[in-house]
A and B are shown apart, each in its own frame.
Chain A
Amino acid sequence: MKALKVLLFGIIFSQMHFFSAIAQTPDTLLLDQIEVTALSQNSNNDMLQHQFDSEILASNRSATFADFLQQNSQVFIKDYGPGSLATASFRGTTASHTKVLWNGMPVNAPNHGQVDFNRLPVFFVDEAQLAWGAHAANQQGGIGGVVALNNKSQFNKGVELTAKQAFGSFNSYGSYMDISWSGAQLNSRTRVFRASSDNDFEYLNTAPIQTQKMRQKDADFLDRGFMQELYWQVGKGIFSLISWNQWNERNLPPIMTNLERGGNPEEFQNDRFHRQILGYKHFWEKASLEIKTAYFDERQHYFLRTTSNFNDHATVSLINSKNDIRVYQFLTSYLQQIGKRWELTTAIDINKQMAFSTNYEEPQHRNQMSLLVNAMYKDLKGNKLQLGAHQDDVDGQLMVFSPFMMYSARLPLTENWRYTAGVSRNFRVPGMNDLYWYPGGNPGLKEEVASQADFSLHYEKTWNKASLNIRGGIYASDIREWIQWRPTAFRYWVPENVSRVFARGTELTLGGKLDDGLFNHQIQINFAYTRTTDESTVAQIENTQGRQLIYIPMHHGNLFYKMGFRTWELQYTLVYTGSRNTSLNKVDFYGFQLPAYTLHHIAITKKWHEFTAEIRINNLFDKDYQAIRWRAMPGRNFAIALSYQLKSKP
């Protein structure tokens, strides 16, 4: 009977919407019920969220989320090069409009609001979801969308060990170890990784008077991470303690036009963070309660020094910038089933952010509180209505009331077609740099407010040996009080709420699986058309109204194909990035637009019992390209990896 109750909860939770999925500690007892099976097409997805296929996620364990999302989603990754900064933007918004949650807790840096996706190893994540539009509106700041990364407990699995060693071009190494033990009530899991690269790839430098092949320099990096998870199941509750610790060191390479700088520049950025979450989750027959508290300590150190060529190498310039962030968070959520059709979720999120920076006049802190109510109705046909709202308070000031509504239903007279419509309002508070940077910070900034609408269609069909999943949608987002740093008469810049950005577009996703017994195939195609323009009065005056914002491609997409044959597997990935404006000018100058490019990657995997070997070729056709103007990118490169996986019952 107990097992039946647990199963019931599993079913309820599997149908729950995004907030509940991302705000609660994932739990094997529940989530095992929704694991993706061979031919299903992510059945828990709807049109405003996407949960990545666990197989695809598993096959990218040594990648970063920058590469993973670039190759497997509609999210646009602005990539400054291997090992360098990589940020994600949804639907024509910027990196600071992408909210990233780790087990329900936001990891966006409170100072700049961004997350570096090159510092997010897939290896540390068991489940990854994307949400956008009305489905992301329950998260303050997720104006563009939400990336939710979760860890997952497991019980009664005994000892499990995974070890992976990867080698690649440019002296790239990756070592990964994952060891887990679980009994009936306890689960301990430890993961460590070390990834490094000299990153001294050859590229074509078109900046000098004579175009020449050059080697990238000062781009080496070393990332190390350690994650410890502990889960303790007591009766109908689970305690969890998760600790994520990471140390990232990287040199910062100059752009192609600046390779002949004197003074032997030494420029690097070291980051380290320690994120701890302590949680408890309790289940009743028709309700659940989750309580979490977290402490994040994040430190960033930027250093630049040049020395004289003429004066005993005396220091000429020195920047030694340090930023420390500490965040205390408390989150509690309660879910209650009402009758047979309704579920009600309430949540309170309280956090205190503290920033210590050499770029501020004094330490700064911010207190935030958010109250969320979310109701969902679902009938027997699978039609769903979701209504909710959150009201936030920042340092005693009420933010804009943020409601959201979504309705999803089967199209009349069809069996496999569904539609989803959603409307929402959401906001983002200014980053602490916007408020307190010295000089220029503007403490009077207001929050950015977005009004959004979505409509999408979804076709899903499963046959005996195949399945097909097609989604297409349109959206529009009107973002007011958009913060823009503006020049002043004093030659430093000040952020102001001057822009009004209108983002709209279409998205298309196609997924298919086919298994004929000998071969099995899987394909996923994502494509996005994005128009993002500033429609403010200031843009009118400056004649930039209607122009695509910089570094947001109008077209981008990717294709992932996987074919399995016995113990062999072939993966092919195509990533297309359309042209990007690099200024708000009309495109009458080579420097104002970067050309489109297409990259092809291929990988072959072979399994022998507990061992798996993989050969990967990135940028198969050795495409010379720039993702960001004058940032060097690697041509064709190789990687091999050998992994060992052991599973034994206790």
Chain B
Amino acid sequence: MPLIAGIDIGNATTEVALARVEGRDVSFLSSALAPTSGIKGTLQNVAGLRRALGLALERAGFARDDFRKVDRIRLNKAAPVIGDVAMETVTETIITESTMIGHNPSTPGGIGVGVGVTTTFERLKEVRSGDAVVPVIPASVDYEHAAAGVADAMNRGVNVAAIICQADDGVLIANRLPRPVPIVDEVSSVDRVPLGMRCCVEVAPPGRVVELLANPYDIATIFDLSPEETRQIVPVARALVGNRSAVVIRTPLGEVKERRIPAGELYILGPSGKRIVNVEEGAEAIMDMVKACQPVENIFGQPGTNVGGMMERVRKTMSNLTDIALSDIYIRDLLAVDTLVPQKVVGGVAGEFSLESGVALAVMVKTEELPMQKLAKAVEADLGVTVEIGGVEADMAIRGALTTPGTKCPVAILDLGAGSSDASFMRQDGTVELIHLAGAGNMVNTIIMSELGIDDFDLAESIKRYPLCKVESVFHIRQEDGTVRFFDKPLDPEVFGRVALIHENDMLQPIRLNVTLEQVRNIRRKAKQEVFVTNAVRALEQVAPAHNVRLIDYVVLVGGSAVDFEVPTMITERLSRWGVVAGKGNIRGKEGPRNAVATGLVLSATGA
């Protein structure tokens, strides 16, 4: 009986199904997966393919490099699809002439509100009694010395209303004063605080946020502002919302403004001609426009802008990899998601961060199918095995998915990968509708990275994949659903007190960020919702009969991202509203949602 290997080269993994085929009888021997080397559909894939096939051979009882045992290799006829993901920050907060300090030192001193004129610590001795001042204390002054100086002034009758200091000394100074005043500390660029200006400092009690300085009318009351000036102060108040401590200083020229960065326009070519949408308008507007232009023929970015650069980069990468002329590469789909990006406030004096809004974009490029032939030839030369290119990927995915117990035609498949989300629908008569959409696992990583402000792709991947816990003691953790688990052996001190990820075999990976479990969980779930659920609905709408998802009975989820611990349930929940049976596939009743295309490739070899 000939030995046939079905090999599916995906964006992130290469999957192999190995089987003996005789006529219509197929007996599967083994399956394996390995990371894809290089970009899907290019000659670089051979290394990953060898590795995956070697593993499958080994599992079937052959030598790992005994490739000649295989009689035929069937490759998927995937149009190379590459996704690129980029972040565009569309707003930026700029402070001119430092009128405010709104940051969250973890331990400010004192509680309450103080209003006075800013003055240096050295000049504090010369202040007349009765004057309301706010001394500004640099880190070079020790906390004992600072507290003594301020206490002296207080005893002389000077009204020290509040204190701004550079070092992390707020509580230390507060504990040494005869009467408590609000103290904002850890103001890194203390030398840029304007002196001799009227200033208001507010420190909220623990667990609460500033109320006075987050309210424009209270700021107007403190600084005697006119209605016009009050209007100008609104961005200040807005920027201070949610902080535990804040300082507002009135300078003649200072202002805070939110600038919108020109992110550029997108030109979407569809059957109805070219439509233009500005990235600044946000994800919803962009997605509406993409929907209005279905089927999208090509997408361009405005030249000279960030978006334009991104679109060209994608085209160029694709062109280099496939030797196809730049002009023959078409961007066929785009997914936009609104995100928040922590950005350093321009002109801030305490290293303040502000959550600016941004748009994450994933695009998908489709080219002609020529490169697959080249790849097939390269594999043939390398392994010395006959290579043939099987049917269309989506077709194969359906064949594979139908090996899931409990499925029948007509059926829709959602193939959720790393780079793209594909959907296909097979009618009773065997005809297939299919679509490739941009945005999948990698986009979730990008959103997690930008919202948490990290640039570690592997950490983002782990956050996406594993559930969270908080290590509460050396012997117990609290998991994200609130349950507690105990351990017999002390946990690694590295994870003590931290938010951590629970890998396989209870290995804990600490997240070295100053974040709570809930924050990470919300970001993770929101990113998955906005990428996978949005794409699932979008994809099914396009392949469903009459574009009506209700007319689909069964949806089978396959692909690497369907292995995720919560994505399938999110999609199942969303689709259950339409009465659609949706769930993770179980290829050949044992592979789970993986190996669908590879299995389909083998099955199609039977000629059935």
A joins B in a complex: no
Q: Which residues of A contact B (CB under 8 A)?
A: none
